[in-house]
Every structure is written in structure tokens, then in C-alpha cells.
Structure 1
Amino acid sequence: MTIAKISDYPMPDQSRLPQNKTNWQLDPDRAVLLIHDMQRYFLNFYDADSRLIATMTQNLEQLRQWADQHGVPMVYTAQPYEQPAEDRALLNAMWGAGLPASTPDQQAIISPLTPKDGDVVLTKWRYSAFQRSDLQKRMQNWQRDQLIIGGVYAHIGCMVTAIDAFMNDIQAFFVADALADFSEQEHLEALKYVSSRCGQVTHTQAIVASTMLELTEQWLYEKVQKLVEEEELDPAENLILYGLDSLRIMQFSAELKQYGLDIYFEELGQEPSIEHWWNLIQSKQAAKVA
């Protein structure tokens, strides 16, 4: 029996998240981000214009950007398109033959989340990402004991991976709005089980905000001091007069992107002063909140 067509449903918002039994604090130096089974084959069971899948994908992209910014290893799971019956074993009785061997393109992870060089892609044989893989060994080698989980399907592979993480003394962070399932009820049941039995349910913005540096005018002043290697600066003065060059402006633009602020070289270079740059930062922050 293969997977049936899945109807769209609203992504659970923060007001619907269950209460956690744990109060684990996510630490980027201890964490690994797992993007689970985000393959064309599994997403094709949803409507092409599914709002649920669009929201989940956007949130996974945001988590991947957060992981890149904080040096968090990225791990993907992907089921192979050629699965001999003896390898699938009991899965055949539950789900049939799996990914069709005639359509290898269905094995691909969807393009917005395509793995980058250095990311790990695990071959997925069972519900849990730990089964028949070296995920646990990799995490031990990385000296990491927290696993952030997003992808499909919440109440099957994602939830069982969280259970397996718990059984191996790994803290699982189950990202409610970076998951999708067969139905809203099964999605919510998975959240309830994880929160009460094996992990901590969270949401995308909680993860991003947990490590977000508050940008202040004093932070900017001190940052510019380092850029131009001057102790005393006039906030209204053109920074070119302090020796600021285009390379350092580009470096600063790249650093701002790590805080979710797309302020480009041209904007910074048009009027390079602390006052103007602070106004740019404030306007971009306001736009993100609006």
C-alpha cells in the first residue's frame, strides 16, 4: 500500500504547541541540523500549491541559513530509488515497493534545499535516521549531542528519529513548523508525543532568536572602530576619511547578512558614516518586523 494523496492543512502555530517536559537550551556548538526525507517523491503526495509545504520549506531554508551562520553540521536523509525487496523487508508490507526504480529523479531533495558541498546525505533504509547509518558515530566524532529535526513525515520517520535520539542520549529538538504530515491530527499527535516522551518541541523563530545578537548603535560604533582601527570616531563623518576601503565595506555587508539584514555594498558605500549605517540597520529591522 503506497501513500495516499495528502490534503493541505494549516501549519500549527505557536499557540497550538504542546507544553514540553524538558527545558533544554539549544547550543549551536552541540547541535546538528537534520533535514529529513525532503525528496520529490514524498512531497509529490501534496498538492503542487500546498501552503503547508511552502511554509515548511521556507522554515527549513531559514534553519539551514542559521546552521551555516553558526557552524552547525547539516545532515540530510534520502531514500534510494532502487530498493531490493530483501532490503526493504517489512516496509514492503506497510508501504509497498518504495521509490520507483524507473524514476530516479524522484530521489532528489527538492531544489530550495539541495545539499551543499560538505553536507552529509545519509541513505535512509528505515523510519529512524539512525538505523543502518553512521549518524550516531558522526555526532560522536563531532562531539555533538543535540539534533534539530525537520522534514517529512512528522509522525513517522521524524518522530521515530527523535525517539532514537533520546535512546542514545541525544537531545532532540522537534521543529513544529518545519515538519509536515499526512494530516493535521497526526502532525499534532507527533508534537504531543515528542514533547511528553522523548524531546523538546520548538519552532523556527525560537531557534533563530535563541542565538540572535541584539544590534545596537554601540555595537555598530565598536564594529566600525575595528574596521578602521581608530579609537575616536565622529558618527557623522565619512568613514573613507578614516581609511575605510571597499573591501572592508563588502566584508561588513556580508557580516550583516549573518544577522538576517540584506544591506548591500552599494547602500553602505553611498554614504559611509556610522549615522547613515545605523539608520539603514534600523530601517531593515523595522521592515522585518512589519
Structure 2
Amino acid sequence: MSIPRIAPYPVPTSLPVQSRVNWQPDPARAVLLVHDLQEYFLDFYDRGDAPVAPMLDRVRALHDACDGAGVPVVYTAQPTAQTPRQRGLLQEWWGPGVTAATDRAAIAGSVAPRAHDTVLTKWRYSAFAMTDLHDRMRQWGRDQLLITGVYAHIGCMATALDAFMRDIQPFMVADALADFSAADHAMALDYVTQRCGVVLASQACIDALAAPALPTSLDALRAELARIIGIPAAQVGLDDNPLHLGLDSIRLMSLVERWSAAGAAIGFVDLAERERVSDWWALLEARREAMP
């Protein structure tokens, strides 16, 4: 059995009933997941119609918002070569998948990963299964996952439930998802709302990410520095000088403005005169404690 041809349907404009929790996306805690937006999976839709066309626009807007807020972006993509053992039960359920269409394995160009993004090889429904996504989120000091992509009632919903069971707050971005049908799409949103997470619209997510916030851990600070410099987080050591790692005055000022807007009394000179990442963290902690 393979994926069926998917008829156009309108992107949901009304969200499920009020969630059981009042979680809000936090730019200091969140990671954006762009789930399986490979050409292969999108080929089952009319690419010029809803839900795919507006969904891709909203994923791109969310990506832009995450870049502006220092939020990591993670992509999943199924590999072009899978042995029967690697494919497992998916082979019986859906056939060979991307393996049978290797020329369609690329992520859609309009939402393609950027140089600083993470791309994970996807093996099962959940983005956590057989990947290091959870380890990466721990390293980044992140415990919220903003879920976009396809298919809402399969991999996206499975990932939301898996995140919940790992004490990661899942958010399904309702209008940045696509599914087999409007009914399947609505079912996925309703299930997450009732059982494991929060459903919200892309604009509400973007608005929440615009709120400035301080890094919540030393690892989160290292990750934020790595993103703004454009290097892997593993290259940011506690004794390293951020300026020697490549942080120029323009990007330093952007950090000052963001952290100041979050309520920390930090100036350009405060950071520039401190030579180690650990010293920056000590300053942030002291300013956080002094905040009203």
C-alpha cells in the first residue's frame, strides 16, 4: 500500500476547543521542527492549492521568525537508501517510500534548510525514533517543540505524543501542517489538544517568538552564540572568548538588544570586556536575579 493521491482541502481556520494547559511558545525554550517536507511526500498533493501552498508559506514565515529569535530549526528527511531491516514495518504499511523515488528526496526548495539548521535522517513516524533529536534538545537547553510539516495525523501527531512522554511540550502549528484530508487534519489537532499538547495558529506562534527572552541555561547560551556566529555548538567552550570565535560588533549588539529587551540590564561594554563564555553566563545569571 502506498500513500493515496490527496485532494485539495482548506487549511483549518478554527482551532479545537481550549487546551487543557496554558503553555505558550518561549523563544528561549523552543525548537522548530520541519517534518518530512520532501518533494516525494508533497507530490501526492496539488502543489498549487491548499493545504500545501499556504502551508509552505507559513513554514517559511515561522523559520524566519525562529532565525530572528535565536530558535533552532530541525528538519527530518527520510533517506534514499533503506535496507528492509531499516525500513521495518513501514515497508508493509506504505511500501518502499522515498527509496523508490530517490530523485524526489530533496526538501521543498521554498522551505529548504539554511546553513545553520539541523537535518536529521528520519526512520519512523516519530522524529525522536532512532535519531538524536532529544539529545540535541537537551544540549540546547530546550523543552518545547513547534511541529510543522506532513502528515499531521501520522508522523506529526506521533512526534507530538513522543515529545510529551519525554517531558517536552509539543505545539502543533495548525495552519503549517498538511494531511490526507480535512478530517484527518482535524482529528490530529483534536487529539493533541485533548491528550498531549497545544494547537495554535502560525501567527500566534510567530507573535510568541517575538517576545525577547534570556538563555535559560549555560548550554542554551552556548547554542545561541553558536547560531549567531554560525558554528556548531560543540565549538563554543566555556573558556572561549566569543569575540575570538567570530562574534562581531553588529551581532554582539543584536544580543545586547535582545537580552536588554528581555529585562536584563546588560550593555555592550558589559559583554565586550568579559573574555569567557562562562563569564557571560555569570553576568546573565546576576542580571536575571536582579530583574524585578
Amino acid at match of 1:96: G
Alignment of 1:65-214 (within 5 A): 65-101=64-100, 103-212=101-210
Following superposition, the deviation at residue 115 of structure 1 comes to: 0.6
2-side partners of 1:114 and 1:104: how far apart? Answer: 17
Q: In 2 relative to 1, CA 211–117 (structure 1 residues): closer, same or farther, beyond 3 Å?
A: closer
Following superposition, the deviation at residue 51 of structure 1 comes to: 2.3
2-side partners of 1:196 and 1:150: how far apart? Answer: 19
Cα deviations across residues 96-122 of structure 1 (Å, max 9, x unaligned)? 111134x42311000011111121000
TM-score, length basis structure 2? 0.71
1-side partners of 2:11 and 2:163: how far apart? Answer: 25
TM-score, length basis structure 1? 0.71
Query: What secondary structure is seen at the aligned counterpart in 1 of 2:46?
Result: coil
2-side partners of 1:209 and 1:76: how far apart? Answer: 22
1-side partners of 2:50 and 2:97: how far apart? Answer: 26
The answer for the alignment partner of 1:19 in structure 2 is 18
Following superposition, the deviation at residue 19 of structure 1 comes to: 2.1
Amino acid at match of 1:29: A
Query: What secondary structure is seen at the aligned counterpart in 2 of 1:47?
Result: coil
The answer as to whether partners of 1:83 and 1:98 remain within 8 angstroms in 2 is no
Following superposition, the deviation at residue 52 of structure 1 comes to: 1.2
Cα deviations across residues 215-260 of structure 1 (Å, max 9, x unaligned)? xxxxxxxxxxxxxxxxxxxxxxxxxxxxxxxxx9xx99xx9xxxxx
Query: What secondary structure is seen at the aligned counterpart in 2 of 1:35?
Result: strand
Q: Percent identity?
A: 53
**Which blocks of at least 5 consecutive residues in structure 1 are unaligned?**
214-247, 256-290
Q: In 2 relative to 1, CA 212–119 (structure 1 residues): closer, same or farther, beyond 3 Å?
A: closer
The answer as to whether partners of 2:160 and 2:196 remain within 8 angstroms in 1 is yes
1-side partners of 2:183 and 2:201: how far apart? Answer: 18
Q: In 2 relative to 1, CA 212–134 (structure 1 residues): closer, same or farther, beyond 3 Å?
A: closer
1-side partners of 2:65 and 2:202: how far apart? Answer: 10
1-side partners of 2:90 and 2:50: how far apart? Answer: 29
The answer as to whether partners of 2:8 and 2:45 remain within 8 angstroms in 1 is yes
Cα deviations across residues 18-63 of structure 1 (Å, max 9, x unaligned)? 3211100211010000000000000000013222101100110110
Cα deviations across residues 159-178 of structure 1 (Å, max 9, x unaligned)? 00000000000000110000
The answer as to whether partners of 1:18 and 1:191 remain within 8 angstroms in 2 is no
Tell me how large the CA RMSD over aligned residues is: 1.9
1-side partners of 2:86 and 2:50: how far apart? Answer: 35
1-side partners of 2:209 and 2:153: how far apart? Answer: 28
Q: Across the two proteins, how many residue pairs are aligned to each other? A: 216
The answer for the alignment partner of 2:36 in structure 1 is 37
Amino acid at match of 1:50: D
Q: In 2 relative to 1, CA 83–27 (structure 1 residues): closer, same or farther, beyond 3 Å?
A: same
The answer for the alignment partner of 2:270 in structure 1 is none
The answer as to whether partners of 1:148 and 1:173 remain within 8 angstroms in 2 is yes
Amino acid at match of 1:95: W
